Amino acid sequence: MADFHVYDFENEYVGKCYYTHKRGRLSSMFSYSLDYLSQSGIYNVDPAFQMIEGSQFVDSPIPRAFTDSAPDRWGRNLIYKRHLYEAQVNGVSAKELNDVDYLLGVSDLARQGSLRFKIDKGGAYVHESSEIPKLIALPKLLNSTNALEASGSHEAIKYLLDVGSASLGGARPKATVRDDNGLFLAKFPHIHDEWDVISWEYVALSIAKSAGIDVPDFELVEVDGSKVLLLRRFDRLSNASNAGEISRVGYMSAMTLLGAEDGQKADYADICLHMADVSVDFSRDLSELYRRIILSILINNTDDHLRNHGFLRDGSGWRLSPVFDINPNPERGEARATSIYGQTDRVVALEALRINCSDFKLNEGEAASILKEIREVVKSWRDIAKRAGIHQREIELMETAFAQ
Ligand SMILES: Nc1ncnc2c1ncn2[C@@H]1O[C@H](COP(=O)(O)OP(=O)(O)O)[C@@H](O)[C@H]1O
Ligand SMILES: [Mg+2]
């Protein structure tokens, strides 16, 4: 049995995770440190844990809260390709990497949320990496993601891993960059994109902002003729009184909140039920979620799976993070990942939301005015798309996503 140590924020020791990897199966246990449990103001880092002494059984390969600090498709691919290359150079056979290898394989500086990991208790956080690149490195980062997709360039993979590109989840090429005040997530185009996905995500965020939904600061920039979306990282805060100092904010996905498997389908009613247990401002989160669901229906954002909903640590509990990864989908027939009272059809789902508005602490009048307000805002989609420089051909292609 092997282990690693779990910390929070700057240097707060949380506990130890034990794991074994046998016959291709990873299993783990977690135990809180007694010092951690004896402090005031601490929190349960995973809703599946109990705040008790001793080892706790984990019903997923690694605790889900740690999965939220681990890479997903994009980062895992980088780490695996690097591993294959190093094995080849060293003349050894490559091994099958497991969730712990991936968790410990990303840059600590860019790691999602506030949890951090060490292999040796007295040692350094894993893994140490070069500095987060400044915004000026965007062309190099973009070129590297392109070189990786085009030729599997080992140099590109090494550079991207060194600068923390693998740290955040999701499948799309991305990197973390910084300015003097904090960190940004940069999302890049992918060679197999069938449309200008990045610009359309910008359109969706612009609509969300006008619809009163909490969005991170965002900007669409052009880098070497490609569109790149910059999003201020909501899991980092810059210290107003000490310029340059950046602190971490705890993060948890809805997958972790619900104790769900990766890829498991869920319903917004389940998210509401679980939110009730942890939310520090439940009324705010309910009405915020209500707006997000309506927006998702009206722009046909169907990829609303549990990892595309997140929560930030706030005092003694959690609150919904700003919205992210919302994308209009022109495939009108595609079912959404998270159903709405069991419905995925947009007309029936809107009706289900109206009927059940009291679950969101809204009366029928309030629910109707939210729907009306967001419908009005969505109508401006073409203007926003044109201002974003999206080609007329693509605006026509996307018509079906916004048709009401
Ligand atoms: N503004 C942000 N600040 C911090 N973390 C973010 C932000 N936006 C997204 N994330 C995190 O990064 C992950 C990947 O981002 P996402 O936009 O979902 O990328 P992808 O399109 O590849 O799925 C998300 O699952 C979320 O945990
Ligand atoms: Mg995503």
Nearest CA to ligand 1 atom 15: 170
Nearest Cα neighbor of 201 from 10, 403, 392, 390 is 390
Q: Do 400 and 334 meet the contact criterion of CB atoms below 8 Å apart?
A: no
Nearest Cα neighbor of 384 from 195, 196, 198, 200 is 200
Ligand 2 geometric centre to CA of 37 (Å): 33
Residues 319-323: contacts with CB within 8 Å, 24+ apart? 319/279, 319/280, 319/281, 319/284, 319/285, 320/214, 320/275, 320/279, 320/285, 320/288, 320/289, 321/234, 321/235, 321/251, 322/214, 322/215, 322/216, 322/234, 323/205, 323/208, 323/213, 323/214, 323/215, 323/292
Is the minimum distance from the CB of 309 to ligand 1 under 6 angstroms?
A: no
Nearest Cα neighbor of 104 from 14, 182, 22, 7 is 7
Nearest Cα neighbor of 29 from 38, 37, 20 is 20
What residues does CATH 1.10.1070 cover in the chain?
236-402
pLDDT for 41 equals 86
The pLDDT averaged over each successive group of 10 residues in the chain (404 residues) is: 95 96 94 96 94 96 98 97 97 96 97 97 91 96 96 96 96 96 95 96 98 98 97 92 86 98 95 97 98 98 98 94 98 94 94 97 97 98 98 97 91
Query: Which atom from ligand 1 is nearest to the alpha carbon of 233?
Result: 3
Which is it for strands 246-248 and 251-253: parallel, antiparallel or unpaired?
Answer: unpaired
pTM of the model: 0.97
Ligand nearest to the CA of 255: 1
Ligand 1 geometric centre to CA of 398 (Å): 23
Residue 225: Cβ-neighbour burial (10 angstroms; 0-12, 13-18, 19+): exposed
Residues facing 338 on adjacent strands: 266
Is the minimum distance from the CB of 324 to ligand 1 under 6 angstroms?
A: yes
**Does CATH number 1.10.1070 belong to domain 236-402?**
yes
